[in-house]
Amino acid sequence: MPVYEYKGFDRAGKNKKGIIDADSAITARQRLRGSGVFTIDIKEALSRQKGLPHSSALSNFFKRVKSGELSAATRQLSILLGAGVPLVSSLDTLMSQAANPLFKKILAQIKESVNEGGSFASSLSKHPKVFSEVYINMVRAGESSGSLDLVLDRLADFSERQQALRGRFKAAMAYPVLMFFVGSLILFFLITFIIPDILAIFGEMHKTLPLPTLILIGISSFLKSFWWIVIFILAGTVFLIKRAIRNPSGRYFWDKVKLRIPVFGSINIKMAMARFARTLGSLLKSGVPLLNALKIVRNIVNNTQIAKAIDNAMDQIEAGKSLSTQLGQSRWFPPIAVQMISVGEQSGELEDMLNKIADIYEREAESQVMAMTSMLEPIMILVMGVIVGLIVISILLPIFEMNQMIR
């Protein structure tokens, strides 16, 4: 349904502006007139340009709602509701402050749905690409308990923590990844375009060359003539791996490898534990029942092995057993996490204990990533140095042999 931006005035003569969701401009004017607003100007927001049938799709792609925008809006909405401002008026305020046209349109549609009598959670569920299952269920629990402002405040905290964690990991991995690609491109250019001109001098002498030099000539000739095959093989390998991961059996095997691979497996387990504990703790603290919360969490741990352990735990919980007992039977849940969950269940403070578990594993995962990246940098420099050294030796060996012959 289109969204229209309007300017006008009310019965008291005060200026009014905003956006409204309607089937057409005429319908929008009629609805505004019915609410006491007389429009001066009305136009469609995010309108398609003539001759560009796909401009809206491109606009939506490049103007996606970022997680930072969503968490900021959530925080503002929590403050407004806590101050006693009605939900519809609060959404109006968010719409006026939203800089992203796509987000403004979504807020207008949510406001219209709430105006028509729908719940806030059901209105959010119409936009699954923006509002996650965790977000929607926490809002639903907040509406049911009458503590929507508190739930939104927790949601904002949860979102900001997740963003900060992802940001730290990306920052830690940025330099090693950039160094790897730049180094690989430099070596490829060196071997493919620079080395052949140097080695051509030795070829013209019709002398028997050392084995390292012959190997370097072979690699250089192959890359110069068939570099496109290397790129095709790499792209094909990536494509086949991604296709295999989409298959259930392939995904199951890949998730097992991710948890068992040296160094990276430990980091993946800790990140999964942090995500599991943080999300489950936030859901439980917002009033979501345990089984419903576990069903949501299993979909966001991003690993079928851990999701299977959660499924087994849910089956046993329905039979009256505790969460910690069932999670302890899985090899992927560390004993410390299981013990802390058991203490939380016994003391009745499971939500707080889950948040402490998340804090512990977030710190451990971050410190392990930092340690790994600090080791990666010298290792990559060493590997690049060894490769360059081998290239230099392969070039110098024939020169040394020629010097000996001259003597």
As a whole number of angstroms, the distance between CA 264 and CA 347 comes to 34
Closest residue by Cα to residue 66 from 99, 23, 43, 114: 99
Which residue positions in the chain have pLDDT lower than 70? 1-3, 19, 21, 45-63, 203-207, 403-407
**Does the domain formed by 177-407 have CATH 1.20.81.30?**
yes
As a whole number of angstroms, the distance between CA 209 and CA 393 comes to 13
Tokens 């190997």, residue?
A: 215
CB-based contacts of 370: which residues, under 8 Å, 6+ apart? 172
**Does the domain formed by 66-158 have CATH 1.20.81.30?**
yes
* Identity at 183, one-letter amino acid code: G
Predicted confidence at residue 236, as pLDDT, reads 93
Predicted confidence at residue 200, as pLDDT, reads 74
- Which pLDDT tens digit goes with each residue over 49-89? 333 344 444 444 446 788 888 888 999 998 998 888 888 88
* Identity at 293, one-letter amino acid code: A
Task: Give yes or no for a contact between 133 and 300, defined as CB atoms under 8 angstroms apart.
Answer: yes
Task: Give yes or no for a contact between 398 and 207, defined as CB atoms under 8 angstroms apart.
Answer: yes
Predicted confidence at residue 45, as pLDDT, reads 63
3-state secondary structure of 174: helix
Predicted confidence at residue 403, as pLDDT, reads 67
DSSP conformational letter for 64: -
Length of the chain: 407
As a whole number of angstroms, the distance between CA 236 and CA 92 comes to 49
3-state secondary structure of 260: helix
As a whole number of angstroms, the distance between CA 148 and CA 84 comes to 11
Please name the helix (run of DSSP H) or strand (run of DSSP E) that holds residue 25, with its range, or none.
Answer: helix 25-34
Predicted confidence at residue 48, as pLDDT, reads 40
Closest residue by Cα to residue 182 from 39, 360, 380: 380
**Distances from the Cα of 192 to the Cα of 97, 188, 387, angstroms:** 54, 6, 14
CA dihedral angle for residue 133, residue 138, residue 144, residue 145, rounded to 10 degrees: 170
3-state secondary structure of 10: strand
Predicted confidence at residue 383, as pLDDT, reads 87
pTM of the complete model beyond 0.75: no
DSSP conformational letter for 209: P
- Which pLDDT tens digit goes with each residue over 182-237? 888 888 888 888 777 777 777 666 667 788 888 888 888 888 888 888 889 989 99
The edge-to-edge listing of strands for the beta sheet with 37-45 is: 15-21, 3-10, 37-45
